[in-house]
Structure 1
Amino acid sequence: MTKVLIIEDDSAIAAIERDYLEINDFTVEVAEDGITGLELALSGQFQLILLDLMLPGEDGFSVCRKLRSQLDIPILMVTAKQEDIDKIRGLGLGADDYIVKPFSPGELVARVKSNLAQYARLKGMSGSSAESNRIESGPFIIHTLSHRAYLHGRELELKKKEFDLLHFLIVNADIVFSRDSLYERIWGFDAMGDNATVAVHINRLRDKIEQDPGNPRYIQTVWGAGYRFQV
């Protein structure tokens, strides 16, 4: 059974989240502060984490950064803040998605299921053979099973969604994808595309793979249409 960790200091909200997830056959544990939540999350027993932004002890941004450096599982940031800068900061630290309070329990469950399904699909993209695990495209080498990417023989330090996005673009080189299409393909949501999410990850990828991020060679902007990968 899939186990979810809720890191939330508001006991009423945590109880609602827990109840609806348990109704949908998830096993749930709750931590009421950032320090406890971090310790539990790093135990390795959870498949997804719901992380509140404003936490006592250690805030959600700090917890997210530490979790992403050690865990490769979906992290959904839960926040009462509406500002795009907070969403962008959370995504930049490695969160896979965010949900803004107040939200309906149905939306919460749908987001959790969609992130888990997308994670499973991306993990299963390649076969188990060494040949299918290795993808070469120009100066890039991708190892899908180990989630390692290399450019000119140098390993790139990529967060999970950055790797997933680079992998997808390389496999689909020369095809133009809109921001909404990339969001749907990588994050797995229909009609929930968020241009800020895609733009943040494209910019972070460019910073890591382009010699001149302001004049990108590999991830090209097709004005009015989206993005295209070329080698």
Structure 2
Amino acid sequence: MENHEKILLVDDEEGILKLLQITLNKERYSNITCCTTGHQALALIRQNSYDLILLDVTLPDTDGFELCREIRKISHTPIIFVTSCTSDFDKLTGLSIGGDDYITKPFNPLEVVARIKAFFRRQGLTKAAHSPLDDTRTYQYASFTFSPADARLIVDGAEVECTAKELELLHFFCRNPNRLFTSSQIYEYVWGNPGYGEEKTVTMHISKIRKKLGDNPKAPQLILNLRGIGYKFVPPKASDQGEETS
């Protein structure tokens, strides 16, 4: 059975692109588009919709971080960074500007494809069990309103732009109010992969959501961090259930 997800591969090394494309084709992913520059990638994204973008950080005409910032102005397509940079600073930089995951070079192409398959499998399971389109509730709280079906977050009367992963994480918290989760559990539920060693990814995304919700990071009231244990979302009103939309 063919997989119909559309994937954009962006890397300046044509050998890597060819290897990934061949490996993906063997797994029946046929909707693969490849490009070697940031300019080409941005033009393609403006003209087409993709289900996933693999983005190299080092490109001949720009760096992947800057390109990610430009992409986020026009698209919420999930982005997985691929780079030879291994420092925590580089990883956190990529996540803070809208990236969803991070793969370091050198890598085994089979591992990359396994990550992609796990991502799409989680997406499918999420849609089947908790489809935003099927979740007709509007989560109406004192300080913000979140509508999963419309992918809209309204804070103090103003709409706030969020990445796809931020919306998924916020949806996860809204569905599970007042419940404590470890970072590993959150990563596994939202990212779809085992979360050991991915605490920084979860921390960064929670920090971004707190900022967008206006939740003081020094004294958070909405997403609490029980040091050494995990996180829980405390709704800013008595009711912890979203209201049904008509």
TM-score, normalised by the number of residues in structure 1: 0.91
Which whole-Å CA distance do the structure 2 matches of 1:229 and 1:14 have between them?
41
Q: Which blocks of at least 5 consecutive residues in structure 1 are unaligned?
A: none
Given candidates 147, 151, 161, the residue that maps to 1:147 is 151
Given candidates 23, 36, 46, the residue that maps to 2:50 is 46
- Code of the residue aligned with 1:153 in structure 2: it is G
Single out whichever of 119-128 and 145-154 deviates more from structure 2.
Answer: 119-128
Which whole-Å CA distance do the structure 1 matches of 2:17 and 2:97 have between them?
23
Which whole-Å CA distance do the structure 2 matches of 1:216 and 1:190 have between them?
27
Residue 107 of structure 1, CA deviation = 1.0
Q: Which blocks of at least 5 consecutive residues in structure 2 are unaligned?
A: 236-246
Identify if the C-alpha distance between structure 1 residues 159 and 29 changes in structure 2 by more than 3 Å, giving closer, same or farther.
closer
Contact 2:81 2:101 in 1 (8 A): yes
Q: What SS does structure 2 have at the residue aligned with 1:166?
A: helix
Given candidates 4, 10, 26, the residue that maps to 2:29 is 26
Which whole-Å CA distance do the structure 2 matches of 1:114 and 1:95 have between them?
17
**Are residues 1:14 and 2:17 paired?**
yes
* CA RMSD of superposed structures (Å): 2.0
Give the corresponding residue for 2:73.
69
**Are residues 1:36 and 2:46 paired?**
no
Which whole-Å CA distance do the structure 2 matches of 1:48 and 1:161 have between them?
12
Identify if the C-alpha distance between structure 1 residues 92 and 122 changes in structure 2 by more than 3 Å, giving closer, same or farther.
farther
The 5 Å alignment of 1:130-141 reads: 132-141=136-145
Alpha-carbon deviations, 1:186-206, whole Å to 9, x = none?
111125551110011111122
Give the corresponding residue for 1:229.
233
Identify if the C-alpha distance between structure 1 residues 64 and 168 changes in structure 2 by more than 3 Å, giving closer, same or farther.
same
The 5 Å alignment of 1:61-140 reads: 61-123=65-127, 125-126=130-131, 128=133, 132-140=136-144
Alpha-carbon deviations, 1:124-173, whole Å to 9, x = none?
524656x7242234443211121111234333332222222122112111
TM-score, normalised by the number of residues in structure 2: 0.86
Contact 2:185 2:195 in 1 (8 A): no
Single out whichever of 207-216 and 18-27 deviates more from structure 2.
Answer: 207-216
Alpha-carbon deviations, 1:191-223, whole Å to 9, x = none?
555111001111112222235221001111112
Alpha-carbon deviations, 1:92-116, whole Å to 9, x = none?
1111111101111221011111222
**Are residues 1:203 and 2:177 paired?**
no
Among all aligned residue pairs of Structure 1 and Structure 2, give the percentage whose two residues are the same amino acid. Answer: 33
Identify if the C-alpha distance between structure 1 residues 87 and 215 changes in structure 2 by more than 3 Å, giving closer, same or farther.
same
Identify if the C-alpha distance between structure 1 residues 39 and 121 changes in structure 2 by more than 3 Å, giving closer, same or farther.
farther
